Amino acid sequence: MKTIKKYIYPIIIFTIFEAVAITLWLTKNNLFYLFNFSYIGISISLGVVLFIKKYKYARRIVQLLVGLYMLVYLGLICNENMQIEGFWYYLFTGVFEAATIHYAVAKIFGPLIFGRGWCGYACWTAMVLDFLPYKVPSQPRKKLGWIRYVTFALSFIFVAALFLSKVGGIERIMFWAFIIGNVVYYAVGIALAFIFKDNRAFCKYICPITVFLKPMSYFSLIRIKCKKDKCVNCGKCKRVCPMDVDVTDNSRKRANGTECILCMECVKNCPKDAL
Ligand code: SF4
Ligand code: SF4
Ligand code: SF4
C-alpha cells in the first residue's frame, strides 16, 4: 500500500495515457495509436519514477525519449508535421489524425490536467535548448510576449495561403515546412538564449504554441503548491525557476503561473520541503 501511494503519480499518468491509447486504437482501428500513446505514457511515467528516486537527470531522460521519438520517428521518418503548421493543415483537410490528436492531447485539453508538462518533458525544441548554459534567467523578463501572437498568426496564414492558392504537392510542402520550421526554431531559440542569457527565451517570447498552452494550463489540475506553514520565504525557489514563476503564491493568478513547465527545480531545491 505504501509503495502504491509513493508511486501514485506515475501510475495515474500511465493510466491516463493507456486509456487514450486504447480508446484511439479501438475507435480509429489503428494500432499506431496504441503504440504511440503507450510509448509516451511509459516514458513519462518512467521519468516520474526516476524523479521520485531522486535521479538528477530524470526530466532530461524523458525529454530525450519523447522529443527524439517525435522529431525523428514521427517527423522525419513518418513525415508527420507535428508543428503548429501541421495542426492547421489537418484542420483544413478536416482529418482528425496524428497532428490534430497530438495537439488535442498534449497542447489543448491535456494542459487542463498536466499544465505545461509538454514543455518540461516532451518538446523537442526545448530538449535542445535545455542543453544550453543559461538554465536560470539572469535578467528580468522582457515585455516581448506579444511576438507569440505574431508567429501564431503567421503559421495560420502560411497554411491558409497554401490551401487558398490550391498549390500542388501540398503534403511535400508540409514535410519541408516541418524541416525548415525546426531549423528556424532551433536557430532562433539558440540565438535568443545567448542574447538574453536565458535558455527558455524562445518559450517565453516566440513560441506560437503557448497561445494554446497558457490559457489552458491556467486551469491545470496538477500544479506546484506551497505549504505556507513550512515556507521560510528564503526565495530559493524563485532563483532556480527557469520560467520566473512565483511559486510561493498558491493562487492561479500568481506571477507567470501559466509559464510553469513542471520541471520540479523549485521542489528539488526548497530547503524546507515546502513545495
Ligand atoms: S513553449 Fe514552445 S518551444 Fe518552449 S517547450 Fe513549450 S512548446 Fe516547446
Ligand atoms: S524555497 Fe521553499 S522555503 Fe524557500 S521561499 Fe521557496 S517554498 Fe519557501
Ligand atoms: S521551477 Fe517550479 S515553478 Fe518554476 S517552472 Fe519549474 S516547477 Fe514550475
pLDDT digits (tens, 9 = 90+) for 147-194: 999 999 999 999 999 888 888 888 889 889 999 999 999 999 999 999
Residues 90 and 113 in one domain: yes
Q: Which of 193, 217, 241 is the last residue of a domain?
A: 217
pLDDT at 13: 86
Report helix angle 84-93 to 170-196, nearest 10. 150
Q: Give the Å distance between the CA of 11 and the centre of ligand 1.
A: 25
Domain span holding position 167: 82-217
Cell representation of residue 156:
495560420
Ligand 3 atom 6, closest CA: 263
Tell me what pLDDT residue 93 has: 83
Cβ 274 under 6 angstroms from ligand 2: yes
Q: Confirm whether 243 is domain-assigned.
A: yes
- Residue 39 falls within a domain, yes or no? no
Query: 3-state class of 241 per DSSP?
Result: coil
Nearest Cα residue to atom 8 of ligand 2:
231
* Contact between residue 223 and residue 115 where contact means Cβ atoms under 8 Å apart: yes
Question: Are 56 and 71 in contact, with CB atoms under 8 Å apart?
Answer: no
| Total tally of structural domains belonging to the chain | 2
Q: What whole-number distance in Å separates Cα of residue 66 and Cα of residue 73?
A: 10
If one residue of 225, 230, 232 were mutated to test the ligand 2 pocket, choosing by the most ligand atoms within 8 A of its CB, it would be 232
Q: Which residue has the cell 506553514?
A: 229
The verdict on the CB of residue 234 being under 6 Å from ligand 2 is yes
Alpha-carbon gap, residue 204 to 201, rounded angstroms: 5
Residue 55 lies in a domain: no
Cα-trace Rg, the chain:
19
Give the Cα separation of 244 and 203 in Å (integer).
12
Residue nearest to atom 6 of ligand 2 (CA): 237
